[in-house]
Amino acid sequence: MGHRLGCLLAVLTFTALVAMLLWSYFATVIAEPGGVPPGWHPFADEEAAMTQQDYLDYPAYPVSGQAMMAKPRYCKKCKAWKPLRAHHDSISGRCVLKMDHYCIWVVNCVGLLNYKHFLLFLFWTCAACLEAAALLITSFVQFLTDSGQSAGESAVTPAIVFVAFVIDAAFFISLLGFLIMHARMVARNSTSIEMYEKAGLLPHYPHDRGFRENFKDVFGPRSWWWLIPHYTPAERRQRLEQALQPQAHEMSARTGGGGAAWLPPLMVAGWLEVFQALQW
Ligand SMILES: [Zn+2]
């Protein structure tokens, strides 16, 4: 009875994990990552934006009160102004807010409005792989230690267990490394692009507001919603407004930072090079 109950619980848990990973995956695939609205500009009025021709010579303006200065950013490919932390996605041919990377596995750009979904996809996949490995490991060890075949057992079953365990473990280790790398970026409020440009590794990273605020910046303010790949319309609106008003956002941002200080280096640079090469 106890054994059957355990089996039922294992099946139900695994089914729930797979459902969550599929939900997170398709949420990442179909989500609008956060395009820059047509006509957006960082200037005080339309006239200034229209008459600003020599954009590269435009003087720096304050971004975070007295903390930092920045020039207006212009995308030559879109022929449009772009906010802080927006980058041009050459695959979709447009600028994306807080762009992290273009992911070939989700066939979408990962940015402001679907980075949470992407991280949850990694998280739930890791969890599902871990449970599968835990369920298979006894049979796997038995396969390695048994020289003879168990009575009444097909020759195919142990081979399937062996292959399934090895593939599952390989997926788990790879995705866990990727998840840890992204956890460090979330802890610093950085992105893959910014880490690649080494801006995210600066000792006083301008977007770092401390771990708690950095985490909520991606996963939202409500803790019961953190593991769900979804933003409410109000959250989406707030995120867009925040990303499109970088000056106001940065002004309240600096509270000391150091959110990732508790995380070890974890070979981030090496992992990053590999995944950048793979276009993750
Ligand atoms: Zn662009």
Query: What pLDDT, in 10s, does the model give residues 77-98?
Result: 998 888 989 999 999 999 999 9
Which distant-in-sequence residues (6+ apart) come within 8 Å of 156 by Cβ? none
**What are the b/e assignments for 247-262, b being 16+ CB within 10 Å?**
eebbeebbeebebbee
Q: Which range has the worst mean pLDDT, 14-23, 65-74, 112-121, 206-215? A: 65-74
Confidence at residue 31, expressed as pLDDT on a 0 to 100 scale: 95
Which structural domain, as residue segments, surrounds residue 258?
A: 10-35+115-277
Q: In this predicted structure, what is the pLDDT of residue 87?
A: 94
Q: How far is the CA of 88 from the centre of ligand 1 (A)?
A: 4
CA–centroid distance, residue 97 to ligand 1 (Å)? 10
> Is 103 labeled as catalytic in the residue annotation?
yes
Domain assignment present for residue 30? The answer is yes
Distance 83 CA to ligand 1 centre (A): 11
User: Does residue 45 belong to any structural domain of this protein?
Assistant: no
- Confirm whether 243 is domain-assigned: yes
Q: Which is more confident, 233 or 203?
A: 233
- How many angstroms separate the alpha carbon of residue 7 from the centre of ligand 1? 52
Rounded distance from Cα 106 to ligand 1 centre (Å) = 21
Q: Which of 7, 78, 95, 103 is catalytic?
A: 103
Please tell me the distance between residue 128's alpha carbon and the centre of ligand 1 in angstroms: 37
CA 25 – ligand 1 centroid, Å = 26
Report how far ligand 1's centroid is from the alpha carbon of 80 (Å).
Answer: 7
Residue 14 maps to a domain: yes
Report pLDDT for 103.
94
Do the domain assignments include residue 91? no
Q: Of the given ranges (45-54, 105-114, 197-206), which has the lowest mean pLDDT?
A: 45-54
| Nearest-angstrom CA–CA distance, 176 and 239 | 28
Is residue 95 domain-resident?
A: no
pLDDT reported for residue 148:
55
Domain count, the chain: 1
Is 123 part of any domain? yes
32 φ, ψ to 5°?
Answer: -80, 115
Domain assignment present for 79: no
**Per-residue pLDDT tens digits for 15-54:** 999 999 999 999 999 999 999 988 888 777 766 666 654 5
pLDDT surpasses 50 at 267:
no
User: ipTM of this complex > 0.95?
Assistant: yes
CA of 183 to the centre of ligand 1 (A): 27
